[in-house]
Amino acid sequence: GALLAYRAASWEKVELFVIMQILWNILGLIAMLWNYFTMALPVAVWLIIGLLAIFLVFYIFVYYKAKP
């Protein structure tokens, strides 16, 4: 998916991919936070949570910057 979006020539072809990534990161953050607070997970989970948050901010920035 990401390679095809990278090679796409127009925003209309990439917009759906960016929206899917935003939703995936939101759901991933919710799931990881839920698991961290309800299960005994290692502290390294915060690295994954941080990466999901960084990518979420990045994709939201790209979406609003590229949106016509």
Poorest-confidence range of 7-11, 29-33, 62-66?
7-11
Tell me what percent of the residues of the chain surpass a pLDDT of 90.
Answer: 50
Kindly indicate the confidence band of residue 19, based on its pLDDT and cuts at 50, 70 and 90.
very high
Predicted pLDDT at 7? 83
Is the overall model pTM greater than 0.95, yes or no? no
**What are the CB-based long-range contacts (under 8 Å, 24+) for 15-24?**
15/63, 15/67, 18/59, 18/62, 18/63, 18/66, 19/63, 21/55, 21/59, 22/56, 22/59, 22/60, 22/63
Find where tokens 């990518």 sit.
55
Find the angle CA(23)-CA(36)-CA(55) to the nearest 5 degrees: 35
Interaxial angle between packed helices 45-66 and 11-38, expressed in degrees from 0 to 180 and rounded to the nearest 10: 150
Tell me what percent of the residues of the chain surpass a pLDDT of 70.
Answer: 99
